[in-house]
Amino acid sequence: MPTLLEAKEVTKVYRKSGHPSLNKVSFRVAEGEFIGIMGASGSGKTTLLNVLSTIDTPTSGNIWINNVNLKSLNHTSAADFRRDNLGFIFQEYFLLDSLTIRENIAVPLTLQKLPPKKIENMVRSLAERFGIASQLNKYPGELSGGQRQRASAARAIVKKPSILFADEPTGALDSSSATELLNTLYEANKELQTTILMVTHDAYAASFTKRILIFKDGCIIKEIMNQGNNRRDFYESIAAEITKLDSAR
Amino acid sequence: MNTISMAFKNLRKNFSFYALYILSVSLVITVYFAFTSFSMNNVMLEKISGDGRVESMCKAISVFLIAFVIFYMSYSNRFFLRRRTKELGIYALLGYRKESILSLLISENIIIGIFALVMGLVSGAIMHKGIVFGTTVLLNLSIDNAKIPFFNFIAVADTIVFILGVLFVLALSNARFLFKTSLMDLVRFEKSAERSMKFRKISALLGFILIIVGYGLALDIFRGNASLWFSVGFYPTGLMTAMLIVAGTVLFIASFLPYAAQKSKRHKKTFYTETKIVTVPDFIYRIRSNAKTLIMLTLLSAATLTVSSVMALSLFYPIAAVARIAPSELEFRIEEEGQLSGAKLLVSQYAPDNSVTYIQTDIYKVTASAEKLPMEYSVGTSKGSADNENIFREAGFECISYSQYVSLLQAQRRNDIVGKLSVLQDDECILVKYQPNADGSNETGSIYSLNIHDGSIPLTVKATTLNNPISFANSIGTMIVSDNVYEQIKSGTVLENSIVSINGEGIEDNEKLFEDMSDLLDNSPYLQGHSHRVNEIMSASSSTFLLIGFLVVLFFIATGSILYFNNISAVSDSKADYEILSKMGYSNKKLKKILRKQILTFFSIPFLFGLIDCIFATIVYKTGLMQDLLGNTITLYFPTIIAVALTASIYFIYYFVTVHTCYKTVLNA
């Protein structure tokens, strides 16, 4: 598989005297991969997500996505880059409250200036796949947390981004909604070949990915691969690894 | 930490948040204090009000002012309280008693009140001095400025007591809010559940219809005597129109606008664009939660615009009409021998002879016969139909010659009119109208046969004009005939009047000269003076305008600040929305565009509605209540246009400041 994202020696220092939030982090993500980022609070997960998604700039080091060096982007071209390449899912859903679910999912497509008919068809077919077709005319406030998060995932995936960033997507969900969402992401990865980079501290959520990078103090301290195809086994090995790390604290 | 120091810290930390609040409250106090000082300024009132008229107006306006200050301060207080509910909830969670929270709020309000009061008193005193100075210059009053104190202590005490009273009322209402709201509601107040939106088609349509009917009724006034305004009566129809428009505005904003916006979503081509897909739903959402504020602002701005434009019109109109009522700087009728030389002698004491022109016009009154004679022919012949009811006028045309007409116009420096004239033939005349005919007809082409001693002279009306060269006090039914015809009339008719018109830069705007002239002529009612008339109008109406001006300024401050607060609050509430849009790939430029559109919509609803209401109200006022001396020229609407332009620029400044603050709120995140 060709490389989609490459981070090389990425460092981010917020305060001159303080510890770096990211310390010479290097890794690659292949096209079509579903990768998990784990770590305790303050380990640099959010900073990593911010610099990868052009919202923040690293102090040093380089990041390439689709062979574009993010350093070369200015304010406006970064916005265009996000529009064309990146999708986001957040713990708090961040749906626009005044828009219906249909309109929420349609926003990224209008930004790409697609014709209305095409937008409607794309929204509908994705909503069906995500099980929210009957909620399209409702407002976010009328939906359950799980439905909202699926709507938010649909909004991120509908524009077929090169890579989808998911920041603790199951953090606010109950276990059955979380499972539904993770299955949806898993299928999207498998069937639509969407590359997903998911930040989570939940071993269960992480077990849906194919590879996990564990962060501590701004560095990658461990990489776990899902060698077999059994999610249950992968979960066990993640949990074991986490316990080991915890006992070392 | 005690509450006072907590309140101080809070205010200092959120300075930018409170700065505009303090500023707007201090502006309101400025206006209030300036007004109170003015109404207690006996030196001034003695000069501009002989009959207690201004005093009673002051009282009426102060009621408005007080009501308004209370309304405005409680609105802003409520607004800031809402924005801080969560913070107050956290205090409560930490274990603060509601009494302590209340005393925190009261301390904050007192600190803000003191700041605003000090600023307001100083700038109010300056404003008052400015008004006194302006009025003195404008009206040529001789006032010893030293006699007027910078701070009128009774006014200061009055203002302080009043503001304390308002603060007390605010404390009561805050207490009510705090003790009525449960802890749970305090913490979760901001995220109150969204109700699903219903769109009521019938009230939407009704709003639309009511407005159209209301405006239609206003336009009905153009039908003249046949209109409801005359058949039913001006005031009942006016009341009906106002009620229709107010009710229509309420429904239009609350139902029609969201309904129409919802319908507009069906138009997929325009809706599925990067801006509209955000702004249209946001508009529906905001208009539904802010309909009340928006309706209030719309009515407020309609009232402000209407009052200021009617005010401008009713000041400008009489002054513009002076050109007809007193076209010459000085004009009188020779009633006794020697008056002309006496007048010349008097004028020479004030101005060098070469800067003044004297024109004596001999007017000959001639009867005429025709199928239908114009209204001016017989005006004033029976008691009650003319300005000077006690003077009985014989019917007839009052003839002057064409060359006299031209030289009078030139002396009055109305060269633009002279330029458009063409020489009169002997069978032609120009008829000076008192006012345009109500039905829009015109005497041009009519033939009047003038009766002179040896027969009659048929004259065709070549044109009618509103540019009378002689005041109405001295001539009505003036007819301008060719020089030959004039000579013919002169030879066989008894002289009616000799009018002297005095013009020239050297004698302009000289009240003293006018007084002396009046003495010289034994207070003759036939003495007319252009500048004198203008000054009379200015001093009679200036106090009214000044007082209404206070109200208008206050309205502007309120409308602008409420729009500002409302937009800032809406935008900072949805700050997360803009963040997510930015992450989706909306560039700052696009976000700014969305912000501008959202804010512009909210500014333009009250402004445009106010503008339309103002246009209709001005039309009704002008057509129904004002004498039609000047005909329908566009220059008449000049002051209205200026008033509207001023309003527009004030709105624009507020819009600009609001947009700027919103940019900062959203894009600095």
Summarised one tens digit per residue, pLDDT across range B356-367 is 889 999 999 888
Q: Which domains does chain A have, with CATH numbers?
A: 3-98+159-247 (3.40.50.300)
B203/B570: higher pLDDT: B203
Mean pLDDT value across chain A: 89
Local confidence band at B205 (pLDDT 50, 70, 90 cut-offs): very high
Q: Single out the residue of A159, A160, A126, A130 nearest to residue A147, CA to CA.
A: A130
pLDDT class of B197 with cuts at 50, 70, 90: low
Range of the domain at B428: 357-503
Query: Cα(B87)–Cα(A63) distance, rounded to whole angstroms?
Result: 41
Distance (Å, whole) CA B265 – CA B272: 8
User: Across the interface, do A76 and B580 touch by the CB < 8 Å criterion?
Assistant: no
In the prediction, which pLDDT does B193 show? 43
Q: Which of B193, B218, B246 is the last residue of a domain?
A: B193
B183 and B219 fall within a common domain? no
Question: Cα distance from B535 to chain A (closest Cα, Å)?
Answer: 59
Give A79's contacts in chain B (Cβ within 8 Å).
582, 585-588, 590
Mean pLDDT of B291-307: 86
The tens digit of pLDDT for each residue in B52-82 reads 677 777 887 788 788 878 888 888 888 788 7
Residue B364 carries which side chain, given as an amino acid letter? Y
Residues B222 and B366 in one domain: no
ipTM value > 0.90: no
Set of chain B residues whose Cβ sits within 8 Å of the Cβ of A83: 584-586
Residues B407 and B425 in one domain: yes
Same domain, B530 and B591: yes
Tens-place pLDDT, residues B606-665: 999 889 988 888 888 888 777 777 766 677 778 778 888 888 898 999 999 999 989 988
Q: Is the pLDDT of residue B196 over 70?
A: no
Based on the domain organization, do B186 and B223 belong to the same domain? no
Asked whether residue B133 falls in the same domain as residue B9, the answer is: yes
Lowest mean pLDDT among A222-236, B46-60, B329-343: B46-60
| B398 falls within a domain | yes
Asked, for residue B188, whether it belongs to a domain, the answer is yes
Per-residue pLDDT tens over the stretch B124-135: 999 888 888 887
Crossing angle of the two packed helices A101-111 and A145-157, in degrees rounded to 10: 20
Strand partners, B333: B499
Instruction: Please tell me the predicted confidence (pLDDT) of residue B390.
Output: 52
Q: How many CB pairs under 8 A join A and B?
A: 92
- Give yes or no for B284 touching A (CB within 8 A): yes
What pLDDT is recorded for position B632? Answer: 66
- The verdict on residue B620 lying in a domain is yes
Please give the average per-residue pLDDT across B84-112, as a whole number: 84
Q: Is residue B346 part of a domain?
A: no
Q: Give yes or no: residues B655 and B546 share one domain.
A: yes
pLDDT score recorded for residue B162: 92
Q: Is B289 on the interface with A (CB under 8 A)?
A: no
Shared-domain flag, residues B18 and B121: yes
On whether both B119 and B225 belong to a single domain, the answer is: no
Q: At residue B263, does pLDDT exceed 50?
A: yes
Determine the pLDDT at residue B192.
47
B644 part of a folded domain? yes
Mean pLDDT over the full length of chain B: 84
pLDDT tens track for B473-528: 888 889 999 999 898 888 877 788 889 999 988 888 888 889 999 998 888 888 99
CB-CB under 8 Å, B272 with A106: yes
What does the pLDDT average to over A133-153? Answer: 89
- For residues B545 and B398, state if they share a domain: no
Statement to judge: residues B186 and B68 lie in one domain: yes
Q: Residues A198, A199, A204, CA angle at the centre, nearest 5°?
A: 85
Those residues whose C-beta lies under 8 Å from the C-beta of residue B387, and which sit 6 or more positions away, are: B380, B472, B473
Identify which of A174, A169, A172 has the alpha carbon closest to the alpha carbon of residue A184.
Answer: A169
Which of B238, B264, B290 marks a domain boundary? B264
Q: Work out the minimum CA distance from B247 to partner chain A, whole angstroms.
A: 28
Is residue B67 a part of any domain in this protein? Answer: yes
The alpha carbon dihedral of B613, B618, B623, B625 has a sign of positive
CA quadruple B440, B445, B451, B452: dihedral, nearest 10: 120
Query: A 169-208 residues with CB below 8 A of B?
Result: none
Backbone angles phi, psi at B529, to 5 degrees: -135, 135
Numbers of helices and strands, H then E, in chain B: 25, 10
Choose the final residue of a domain: B232, B264, B296: B264
**Among A204, A223, A203, which residue's Cα sits nearest to residue A213?**
A223
Do B424 and B567 belong to one domain?
Answer: no
Mean pLDDT of A30-38: 93
> Of A80-89, B7-16, B237-246, B255-264, where does mean pLDDT reach its minimum?
B7-16
Could you tell me if residue B640 is inside a domain?
A: yes
| Count of domains observed in chain B | 4
Share of chain B above pLDDT 90, in %: 19
- Measured CA to CA in angstroms, residue B320 lies from B474, B508, B587, B630 at distances of 19, 17, 54, 8
Residue B384 has pLDDT above 70, yes or no: no
> Is B473 inside any structural domain?
yes
